[in-house]
Amino acid sequence: MSNNDLHGGQIRRIVIVGGGTAGWMTAAPLAQRLARHPTQPCEVILVESPEIGTIGVGEATLPTIRVYNEALGLDNADFIAKTQASFKLGIEFKDWGHIGNRFFHAFGDFGPPLAGFAAHQHWLRLAQSFNNMPDIENWSMPSVMARHGKFVPPNEETPGMTDAYSYGFHFDASLYARYLRDYAVTRGVERIEGMIVDVEQHAESGFVTAVKLRDGRRVEGDLFIDCSGFRGLLIEGTLKAGYEDWSEYLPCNSALAVPCASVEQLTPFTRSTAREAGWLWRIPLQHRTGNGYVYSNGFTSDEKARRVLLDGLDGAALDEPRQLRFVTGRRRKSWVKNVVAIGLSAGFIEPLESTSINLIETAVGKLLELFPERDCNPALANEFNRVMGLRYESVRDFIVLHYKLTKRDDSDFWRYCADMAIPDSLRHQIELFRETGRVAIVDRAGFAEPSFVAMMMGLGVVPKRYDPLVERIDIRAVHGHFAELRGMIAQAVTQMPDHGAYVAAQAAAGAAPNHKLMEA
């Protein structure tokens, strides 16, 4: 790169460092948008080493993954067949808040707004007016579907009262990365296999100009995307972006992961079960079930955590548990000079709400929105860092909420969580909801009001008051509306197919001969 190269002009070559989920999720839309542009093509190169393993062991997602897949033009049935996917309506939480507690964080609301007010405000009024008011989850379509193991997609063209829900997926992360790799390579991405041993920088600007491989090859580029995982080869190893440690809020620093044989009905939800020093995940795929234990090694031993994980499996373990270590937090800047960090190289927040892939989607989308010229104008980097910083912090607060609102005092870990300091932003959100039933949304692109309602009420925070303006509506009409909607939901769910049967039908369609990816 010469001095003249630093004064604007089109990006001619993008180098993605690292494969895995983050690398190929980045490569696929860049290939679609840039690699074969008729007048201004841009080379996209991905460098990965088979010597470096990837973290993904089975992933659960948010509904936003559907937007990402649809933007690439992926065929849904083909995707389900190739990645061993199942559908996800939300997360079942067990023993969170207190032992014996069970609630559901669903991808949907608690019914449509009534007279302009959120459904939970009316429910709070009814709960204070009538004895034995049924749980609010009875007005959550996806919660009732999950409880009965049913699934069909909502009618999104002409939605009715019982279509107010969304869904994500569970899939094998390694298969998804391979699926996107095939998509990207078909559309012009060059894959280079090799171990990076050195990074070259421009003498004056500090921009990264090339990465050098062990065999002596040099891979030059104008823009580098760091998908190298926790080590942050470029963003931290070369450019020293710095790391903001959030361990005081999120004390878990270890995980064990293991797949097991599927023995139960294929459930349309992820399960999170709180344990003595953390929580267990259960992610049902077509061919196996993914399991893990996220914990703090300051409150339990690795060997004890291993026993807890293996004792909680549904079926026979298919491998030895894999050990992971992490420090929760984020890079102080995800975009420095001509390097953009995406995925684990940008930060890590434990997978309690399946946000890792969503953060990749957000970063890739924002990079395309703010795509630079070769000089990588700092104003673009500043905006990218502002948006991603807000997103990481809002996700952090939502996850911390799960721990802070506990009433458990059966272990040192949970006593620490109950007593720990929390960010002021989260403290405000909790106090506002507890006192008034209102929800403060800090990041409009993040978790919406129904998610906060589900989590806070599920963890035992029942607001002392509700919006006084709902009292202007005839309570008999409100009661009738709620009774009718509950009946409609129950009837609709009864008529739905079992989740496992629906997945099998979709997978069979995707595996049919000559079934190909749709051209974007």
| Catalytic sites, residue numbers | 88
* Residue 198: Cβ-neighbour burial (10 angstroms; 0-12, 13-18, 19+): exposed
Neighbours of 70 (CB within 10 A): 12
Q: Under a CB-based contact definition with an 8 Å cutoff, are residues 347 and 327 in contact?
A: no
Alpha-carbon gap, residue 141 to 126, rounded angstroms: 19
Alpha-carbon gap, residue 363 to 344, rounded angstroms: 12
Alpha-carbon radius of gyration of the chain: 24
Q: Which pair of structure tokens corresponds to residue 356?
A: 């890792």
Alpha-carbon gap, residue 460 to 462, rounded angstroms: 6
3-state class (DSSP) for residue 211 = strand
User: What angle do helix axes 20-30 and 64-72 make, rounded to 10 degrees?
Assistant: 50
Alpha-carbon gap, residue 106 to 7, rounded angstroms: 49
If you search the block for the tokens 């990465």, which residue do you land on? Answer: 211
Encode 392-425: b = buried (16+ Cβ within 10 Å), e = exposed.
bbbbbbbbbbbbbbbebeeeebbeebeeeebeee
* Residue 178: Cβ-neighbour burial (10 angstroms; 0-12, 13-18, 19+): middle
3-state class (DSSP) for residue 235 = coil
Q: Which pair of structure tokens corresponds to residue 131?
A: 């004895």
Alpha-carbon gap, residue 58 to 272, rounded angstroms: 14
Helix (H) or strand (E) holding 146: helix 141-148
Angle, CA of 416, 422 and 423, to the nearest 5°: 165
